[in-house]
Chain A
Amino acid sequence: MKTTMLSTVAAFALTGAALADEVRVYNWSDYIDEELLEKFEAETGLELIYDVFDSNEVLETKMLAGSSGYDVVVPSGTFLQRQISAGAFQKLDTSKLPNAGNLWEVVEARTAQYDPDNAYSINYMWGTTGIGVNVGKVQEVLGADAPMGSLDLIFDPANMEKLASCGVHFLDAPTEMIPAALKYIGEDPDSHDPDVIAKAEPILMGVRPYVTKFHSSEYINALANGDICVAFGWSGDILQARDRAAEADNGVEIAYNAPSEGALMWFDQMAIPADAPNPEGAHMFLNFILDAQNMAQASNYVYYANGNLASQEFLVEDVIGDPAIYPDEATLENLYTTTPYPAKVQRTVTRMWTKIKSGT
C-alpha cells in the first residue's frame, strides 16, 4: 500500500515538473487555424495541448469544478461575468502582454460590461447568432420568396413544418435561443423577468416537433453535406459550412443572415483560470494571439471578426468586407447583447430548456 502511495506521489511530482513547459488551451471547436498552434510551439518552445468544447455550459462546469488543468479558456461574455464572480479567473498581468496595444477600443468598450476594465480577459473573437440556410433546398420547400433573413423562418410553425422534411438544427444553448424567441415576439431579449421569459416557451414549443436536433457544433458539417437545410447558429460556423460546401463542390449553397428583427451579438474572451498550472505560459499564448498577423490569420480562417484593430490590415477582403462578419453601422444598430441571469432565474431558464428539448 505504501509503495503505491509513494509512486502516486512521484507520478504527481513528475506531471508537476512537466507542466512548466506545457500550455493547455481549451477553446471552442472549429475556432482556429491549426497552423497557428504549430507556430506557437516553434516560437516559444512550449508544448501546446489544445482541447475543444462546443458549449459554454460544459466549460463552466469544468471551471466551477476547479483544477481544470487548463491555462487558457474561452468563455463568452455573460459566462465570463458569472465565472469571474465565482472567483474562477486570475487578473491579467499586462506587463506580460506587450501586444495588448493592438486591441480595438470599440470592442473593449462592449466587453467591459462583462469584465470591468477588461482586467481578466482579452477579446478573441466576436460575432452574431443567426440563420444559416441551404438556399436551394429552402427555396424548393418554401418557394422563391422564403423569409431566409427573418426569424419567421424558424419560429413560424407553418414554415418549420415544411422545413422539417429537409432538417433543422437549433443551438443547444438556452442563452441563445430564448433571447431570439423573445425578440421574435417583440419582448426585451435581455429580460430577467421570469414572466417575460415564460413567453418564449410557447414559441419554442410550437416549432420544437420540427427541430431535427439541438446541437451546437454538428450543424457545420450537417449544413455543408446537405443533411440539413436550416441551422440557427453562430455566424462564423455557418460561413465555415458555406466554405466547406464550396470546397467539396457538392452543389450545396449555404448563406448566413443575421435576423432582420435583431441579432444577438456575443464576445468570446480569453481568460486564465485562477488555478492555472502555467500562468507564465498562458500569458505567452495570449500575447501570441494578440499579435496582429496571428490574429488576422485566425480570423481569415474561421470567418469571425476579432477585437484586434491592428489585425485589420492583414484581413482578406472576404472577411473585412463582409457585413455578415464586420457589420456596417446600420446592422450594428440592430444587434443586441445580453447579461447573465440571476441564480434563481437561471434554474427557471434551464428547466424550461430541458422541457423544450425533451418535448415534455
Chain B
Amino acid sequence: MRRAALIAIPYAWLLALFLIPFAVVFKISLSDIALAIPPYTPTAKDGIWTMLSQLDFENYVFLSEDDLYWKAYLSSLQIAFISTVLTLMVGYPMAYAMARAPEAWRPTLLMLVILPFWTSFLIRVYAWVGILSNEGFLNQFLLWIGVIHEPLTILNTPTAVYIGIVYTYLPFMILPIYSALDRLDGSLIEAAEDLGCSRLKAFWLITVPLSKNGIIAGSFLVFIPALGEFVIPSLLGGSGTLMIGKVLFEEFFSNRDWPVASAVAVILLLILVVPLVLFQQNQQRQTEAGA
C-alpha cells in the first residue's frame, strides 16, 4: 500500500504538470483562431461533443505547407549542434584542468564554475549586449589596443548567439565531465605511459573514453535546452537568426495565433523527445554499469 502511494507521487506530478498541460496545448492546436476571450474556437463552453467534433488538423497542414517552420526547426538543430560542439571544446579543457588541479583548489574552482548562477540569467545575457555592441566594451578595448580600426559588428549576428549559448550552458558541460574525470584512476594513465604511450596518446586512449559518459551527459544538457532557446537569440541575435523558440514566441505574442503556436509547440516537443530518450538510455546504461 505504502509502496503504491510512493510510486503514485511522481506519476501524479507528471500527470498534473506535464500530461494535462500537454493535452490542453494539443487541444488548442486542433482549434481555429477567433477574436474572443480566449482567442480560439471551439471551447468547452460549446459543450464537449460540439467541441470535439469541430477539432481538426488544419493547423498541422498549414505548418507542413509553409517552409518557414521547417527552416526554423532545421536552423535550431544546427545552432544547437554547433553550440554543443563549441561548448564541449571550451568545457573539456576546463574540466580537465579542474580535475588535475591540486586537491585543495578543487572546491574553489568548482565554486567559480557555479558562481554565475547566483546572478539572474537574464541580467547575464543583457551584460553581453553591453560587451558586444558596436560601442561596447569589447570593441572599445580592441580599438584601444589597435587590433582593429573599425568596430566589429558582433551583436545581432549568429556569432553573438553562439557566444551567448556557450557562455550560458558552459557549467552544464563542465560539471558532468569534471565528475567523470575526477573519478578517473590516475594509475591507468601511469600504466599506459609505462607501456610506451606518449602523453597525448594516453589521453586519447584512456582519458577520453573513460570520460565518455560525462561528455554525453554534458552534450545533452547543452543540446536540449539550446534547441528551444528563446531569450538568447531574441536579445543577442538579429532579425536573421531563425530559431524555433523565437518562432513560437512570434506566433503566440505577435501573431496572436494560439492554434498555430500550439501546433509548433507540439511538434517541437516531438522533436525533443528523441534526444531525451537517447539521454535517458545513456543514463540508465551508466547506472547499470555502475551497479
Contacts and interface: CB of A to CB of B under 8 A. Distances in A.
B239 A64 contact: no
Contact of A212 (B35, B37, B156, B254): B156
B35 A85 contact: yes
Nearest to B70: A360
Contact of B239 (A65, A214, A351): A214
A358 B71 CA distance: 10
A170 to B, nearest CB: 8
Given A225-B135, A358-B68, A353 B156 contact: no
Contacts of B39: 61, 64-65, 86
A82 interface: yes
A202 interface: no
Nearest to B66: A351
Interface string B156-182: 100000000000000000000000000
B71 A360 contact: yes
Contacts of A58: 253-254
A357 interface: yes
Nearest to A172: B254
A116 interface: no
Interface string A158-200: 0000000001000010000000000000000000000000000
Contacts of A60: 256
A353 B239 CA distance: 12
Interface in B49-73: 66-68, 71-72
A310 to B, nearest CB: 35
B36 A86 contact: yes
Interface string A49-64: 0000001011011011
A66 B34 CA distance: 14
Contact of B37 (A55, A87, A226): A87
A223 to B, nearest CB: 12
A227 interface: yes
Given A211-B239, A226-B135, A227-B134, A343 B257 contact: no
Query: What's the dominant secondary structure at chain A's contact region?
Result: helix
Contacts of B133: 225, 227
B240 A358 contact: yes
A283 interface: no
Given A64-B39, A227-B134, A57 B253 contact: yes
A213 B135 contact: no
B252 interface: yes
A113 interface: no
A132 B131 CA distance: 25
A266 to B, nearest CB: 18
Interface string A215-237: 00000000001110000000000
A226 B151 CA distance: 12
A350 B254 contact: yes
A86 B253 contact: no
A101 interface: no
A29 to B, nearest CB: 15
A354 interface: yes
A64 B255 contact: no
B250 A354 contact: yes
Interface in B214-265: 238-240, 242, 247, 250, 252-257
Given A214-B239, A358-B242, A57 B255 contact: yes
A224 B176 CA distance: 44
B33 A86 contact: no
A66 B33 CA distance: 15
Nearest to B242: A358
A66 B66 CA distance: 30
Interface string A321-360: 0000000000000000000000100010011011101111
Contact of B242 (A86, A227, A351, A360): A360
A206 B35 CA distance: 33
A347 to B, nearest CB: 7
Contacts of A358: 68, 71-72, 239-240, 242, 247
Contact of B35 (A61, A343, A357): A343
Nearest to A228: B134
B10 interface: no
B38 interface: yes
Contacts of B66: 351
A208 interface: yes
B238 A213 contact: yes
Contacts of A343: 33-35
B254 A55 contact: yes
B135 A227 contact: yes
A351 B260 CA distance: 11
Contacts of A357: 239, 250
A313 B239 CA distance: 44
Contact of B256 (A61, A226, A227): A61
A347 B33 contact: yes
Nearest to A354: B250
B35 A55 contact: no
A351 B250 CA distance: 10
Nearest to B157: A212
A140 B178 CA distance: 53
Nearest to A174: B254
A25 B71 CA distance: 39
B68 A88 contact: no
| Residue of A61, A63, A355 with most chain B CB atoms under a 10 A cut-off | A61
B254 A353 contact: yes
Interface in A24-58: 55, 57-58
Given A358-B240, A358-B247, 11 more contacts: A58-B254, A64-B36, A65-B38, A66-B38, A212-B238, A214-B239, A353-B255, A354-B255, A359-B239, A360-B67, A360-B68
- Across the A-B interface, the 6 shortest Cβ-Cβ residue pairs: A350-B255, A64-B39, A66-B37, A57-B254, A58-B253, A61-B253
6 contacts: A64-B39, A86-B35, A211-B239, A347-B255, A350-B256, A355-B68
